[in-house]
Chains A and B, each alone.
Chain A
Amino acid sequence: MAIFVNKDTRVVVQGITGKEGQFHTRQCVAYGTQVVAGVTPGKAGQDMDGIPVFNTVLDAVQKTGADCSLIFVPPAFAADAIMESADAGIRLIVAITEGIPVLDMMKVKNTIEGRPVRLIGPNCPGIITPGEAKIGIMPAPIHKPGGPIGVVSRSGTLTYEVVHQLTNQGIGQTTCIGIGGDPVNGTNFVDCLAAFEKDPATRGVVMVGEIGGSAEETAAEFIKTQMTKPVIGFIAGLTAPPGRRMGHAGAIISGGSGTAQAKIAVMKAAGIHVCENLGTFGELCKKVFS
């Protein structure tokens, strides 16, 4: 078991003929992901390594039965690509693109709200169910199939670090999700935590947050009141100066709110095992999860 994606997930890649789209599609296919279609407007009839390319997502869905889209479209056109997927009946949209304007994402979010579609990202590494499907840009070899730990994170490479340490301790993962570093994103911590709580194969969760916003505080409240499985948390940005955008558009301490210190305090109060030294993350997981 896992959450959101598995070996049966049928993927259409939007922007499949671009440099990044090609490179990562090949990596996903090599991992065993079912990539059934690609979309690049104007290139219908062509193929990428035998994967048929279509002009529109709707064509791809109708011809191949794709139910998940992976987006590598440049930021100026990415909001359009997400909404195209949502309207074509895709149930899971994974948007890798970094740099989408906030206003575009606000419009996307208000458009897809209440519809039977899940958006992961944008500005994220994607989602992987180790041993079954990799729908994203994460390096595959660091993952260990079979669970029992679920991982959810706002970051990319920081997630790789955490997963690597888990694997080094012999702890496998059920599903790892990067929800993205943008201020307005699709799936949030609580969505993932709720799904991990329900997933029988997941016995504990790792949650990686960072400064800015209040997603971790909301997640802490959920964990306190509705979760039975243990959660280990980490927050990046204890040393980040206020008012500065720390790489991720969403990683900014504004008006004294969104600090790492405040998040850590709330998480501890909610019973989350907070790791304060990233260098010892794997060891803490070994202790808590065994």
Chain B
Amino acid sequence: MKIHEYQAKELFKKYRIPVPRGGVAFSVDEAQKAAAGLDGWPVVVKAQIHAGGRGKGGGVKLARSAEEVKQTAGQILGMTLVTHQTGPDGRLVRKLLVEQGLDIAKELYLSIIPDRSTAKIVIMASEAGGMDIEEVAAKTPEKIIKVFVNPLLGLQGYHCRQLAFGLNLPPAAIKGFTPMIQNLYRLFVEYDCSLVEINPLVITAEEAVIALDAKVNFDDNALFRHKDILEFRDLDEEDPLEVEASKFNLNYINLDGNVGNMVNGAGLAMATMDIIKLAGAEPANFLDVGGGASAEMVENGFRIILSDPNVKGILINIFGGILRCDTLAKGVVEAATKTGIQVPVVVRMEGTNVEEGRRILAESGLNLITAADLKDAAKKVAEIVK
């Protein structure tokens, strides 16, 4: 789960990680009030969307007076911000963060992520702050310091020293850096984060260490023990169909193509998308109805696929294991009867109770196209949408 920068900074404050003074604004008026409360110029007006690269896209601007705040806030609020992370459609900016401007001496990079191959928590830092870290990693990997922390033992003093000296911090800044990194690690672990990133982390002219930016993502699997984080969820930042799917515990991702598909199991769902593409068509979505899907879940999945206006044909690919083919068939018939099928549907079923499933579909009177196997299914659905 992702949250906004201003929300991440609220968490930072809770953990005594220094951030610039500032306030969130939902209107130009509020932006001006927030700026006035900072008593000093310049201030920074930052678009709040769930994507990086906001500065390059024109979503972060400096303002030197109340008049300029009014102007820039007016420009950014309501704009469709396009960055390398938003895709070509961009994101509508609905809120701003207005912060004090700082006298910056140096920009650093800092992040904490779980490292899947070693099962350790890795802290990455670099003197090349403020830049795209993936580019730094690709071109000059020697500029990135990595420290691996065993989660059973936690962050040790030497980890902090490796980072601080590796970053060539001046002695005065180390004093602020060490507690900051300890608190950041605590935040990461206590909230089951999947990413904490500060880019840039700045050293000010006064040698204070301040998180100029803040990005925090959470492990979806651990949200059950962090109910307070769920309040940070911003449905405006999510695809409406994906929000709808999440209400029914369906794994749905909206894509650009026109072949809707419904599959049980994530791996098979990805492979089904791939084979649709190989057959010369484009998948409209990823939809994993899961191993234990009920007829009701199948029905909701079907309805969500159909509500995407781009969908010109649907492929249902089910390998019955825990989800039995007869359960699936009942769900499809139910959904099709209720919503009315406007597009051709190709069904490929195999596995547990497949004969019963096929019988239910055949006797339903619905116009369904059955496929012998996966290759046949992809070919049939690709021909339909041509």
Contacts and interface: CB of A to CB of B under 8 A. Distances in A.
Contact of A142 (B192, B270, B351): B351
Contacts of A210: 266-267, 270
Contact of B321 (A102, A139, A279): A139
Contacts of B224: 75-76
Instruction: Label chain B's interface by main secondary structure.
Output: mixed
B375 A137 contact: no
Contact of A208 (B85, B264, B267): B267
Contact of B266 (A184, A214, A251): A251
Interface in B268-326: 268-271, 273-278, 282-283, 286, 288, 291-292, 319-322
B33 to A, nearest CB: 35
A99 B266 contact: no
A18 to B, nearest CB: 12
A102 B120 CA distance: 11
A158 interface: yes
B122 to A, nearest CB: 11
A155 B152 CA distance: 29
Contacts of B273: 237, 239-240
Contacts of A109: 119
B274 A161 contact: no
A249 B119 contact: no
Nearest to B242: A244
Contact of B267 (A158, A213, A255, A277): A158
Interface in A204-250: 208, 210-211, 213-215, 218, 234, 236-241, 243-250
A248 B31 CA distance: 41
A105 interface: yes
Residue with the highest number of chain A CB atoms closer than 10 Å, among B219, B266, B277, B282: B266
B119 A110 contact: yes
B275 A250 contact: no
Contacts of B277: 238-239
A51 B314 CA distance: 45
A247 B266 contact: yes
A236 B374 CA distance: 14
A227 to B, nearest CB: 20
B241 interface: no
B355 interface: no
A139 B286 contact: no
A103 B221 CA distance: 10
B255 interface: yes
Contacts of B253: 241, 244, 246
Given A236-B271, A276-B278, A157 B220 contact: no
Given A100-B221, A239-B283, A155 B267 contact: yes
A278 B275 contact: yes
Contacts of B320: 139
A91 interface: no
A237 B283 CA distance: 12
B194 interface: yes
Interface in B105-120: 114, 116-117, 119-120
A80 B350 CA distance: 36
A157 B321 contact: yes
A238 B274 CA distance: 6
Interface in A110-151: 110-111, 113, 125, 137-139, 142
A156 interface: yes
Contacts of B271: 158, 161, 234, 236-237, 278
18 contacts: A99-B221, A100-B221, A101-B221, A101-B225, A102-B192, A102-B221, A139-B352, A155-B268, A156-B267, A159-B267, A213-B117, A239-B283, A241-B255, A245-B220, A246-B286, A255-B137, A276-B278, A280-B375
Given A137-B321, A239-B283, 6 more contacts: A75-B224, A102-B192, A158-B267, A158-B268, A249-B219, A278-B275
